[in-house]
Amino acid sequence: MDYSLHTRIRAGDPQAFRELFHDHARLVHRHAVRVTGDWAIAEDIVSLTFLEAWRLRTKLRDEGDSPRPWLMGIAVNVLRNTTRAARRHQRALQRLPAKEAVPDFADELVGRITDADQLAAAQRALKKLNRSEREVFTLCVWSGLGYAEAATALGIPLGTVRSRLSRARARLSKLAEEELRNRREPPSRHGQVQGGRTSAARSHESYKEGSE
């Protein structure tokens, strides 16, 4: 097994880090976009992940064919910290007086709105999972890591990855079925029908009184 790239990364070789970034930056960005739902935050996650990778480069071990699991493990930790900070920030904003929001669409790209809606719907379902199941699901299903890679990234046994992913899929399947049922059920028109009948009855009574 040729671990020359791993050796060069540990040694702080700039070219090795350029190769690491070129090969995996898009993977980290896609994963961050799906987890956070925010393209700008995802770009920050990429930067922070590779800065952490540089800081922790000596901890990269000669295991596996690729440094991808090690890098994605760093990305998961960066996302955890960023999510905590975002929650604190949101709670602080909620304590401030309300003000009128002015939307700014200057940086929107064609097609992004639909993608954002779909991503938001997926995130609503994922938020109903616990964090451990959510992390396994996003790594294995959304970012395409194998079971062994996800286990390495998260620092958990292979069997735990399998069991968590199985639970996550079962719960998401149930949530999807509930969502479909809710969409298929037409809104109740009971009040409108009653109102229509009442109006018709009143009109009929008024007509009778006028005729008498």
Final residue of a domain: which of 94, 122, 154? 94
The answer to whether residue 178 sits within a structural domain is: yes
Over residues 111-131, the pLDDT tens digits come to: 444 456 666 667 777 788 888
- Give the CATH number for residue 83: 1.10.1740.10
- Give the CATH number for residue 172: 1.10.10.10
The answer to whether residue 6 sits within a structural domain is: yes
Query: Domain tally for the chain?
Result: 2
- Average of per-residue pLDDT across 129-154: 90
Predicted confidence at residue 117, as pLDDT, reads: 62
pLDDT grade, residue 85 (50/70/90)? low
Q: Are residues 15 and 67 in the same domain?
A: yes
- Average of per-residue pLDDT across 144-169: 92
The answer to whether residue 18 sits within a structural domain is: yes
Torsion 181-183-184-189 (CA) sign:
positive
The answer to whether residue 13 sits within a structural domain is: yes
Over residues 170-208, the pLDDT tens digits come to: 888 787 677 666 666 655 555 444 444 444 444 445 444
The answer to whether residue 104 sits within a structural domain is: no
Residues contacting 157, CB < 8 A, separation 6+: 151
The answer to whether residue 173 sits within a structural domain is: yes
Over residues 20-60, the pLDDT tens digits come to: 999 999 999 999 998 888 888 899 999 999 999 999 999 99
The answer to whether residue 111 sits within a structural domain is: no
Q: Are residues 84 and 152 in the same domain?
A: no
The answer to whether residue 33 sits within a structural domain is: yes
Residue 109 phi/psi, 5° resolution?
Answer: -105, 155
- Answer yes or no: is pLDDT of 89 > 60: no
d(CA 185, CA 141) in angstroms, rounded, equals: 30
Q: Are residues 7 and 84 in the same domain?
A: yes
Quick one: CA torsion of 28, 33, 36, 42, rounded to 10 degrees? 60
- Residues spanned by the domain of 145: 132-184
